[in-house]
Structure 1
Amino acid sequence: MTPIKFILRYTAVPFMAIVAVVSWASHDASAEIDARQYAALSNAYASFPVELRRDIGQALQSGKLSNWDYSSLVRESLDDGVVLDWPSNDRENVATEREKLTALVKADRL
């Protein structure tokens, strides 16, 4: 086996596989949450402690919440003793639910 074949077989191919998995995972974590997740945050917003409300406002500064942001906020809410309950009916419009949460955050800042 030549050194080039060895490098390609045992180093380059596994490295490319790792790069592909990491790029897929980072893309998936940066995707926007769905309407039911926005609705769950909006419905429970009044019961959140001040720190969690501030963290939601900071996460919304980009205009949207990613899956990564949402999972962090859910962990923080569980640490604070607040459980998020997804609404039973399907919320189809992400923009409407995002605006509801944004309005709550803006009203809280005033």
Structure 2
Amino acid sequence: MSSGPTVLPGPSGRCWSGSTTAGRSRWRTTPVQTVMEILHRKEWLARAKSGRAFNYRATKSREEYGASLIDQVWATGADRTATLVRLFDELEPGERAELRAALAERAGGERA
């Protein structure tokens, strides 16, 4: 067996860091706990006490996180239209069709 570090998903989505020695796991949760605490302080993770441990969950969906990155770009004064056109140009044809349909639905059935 490998004696290097491993990161495994634990119960309730928690991750545990450990190393294996002679087939036995020796868990070292401190590095993971430190990262989770930092992400919690930055409000990227929410946590709830579960016995002696915490269960963590993301505070934003991937879509919300992606949109917040675009907001950060626009906060720098970037041209919104040029940015959107560039993103649109990089979409696959099927993704473009999905975006057009979503925009049309949002506009109340009007062509976007």
Same fold, TM-score > 0.5, yes or no: no
- Higher percent of residues as strand: 2
TM, length-normalised to structure 2: 0.25
TM, length-normalised to structure 1: 0.26
Return the structure number with greater relative CO, CA threshold 8 A, min gap 6: 1
Higher-Rg structure is 2
- Higher percent of residues as helix: 1
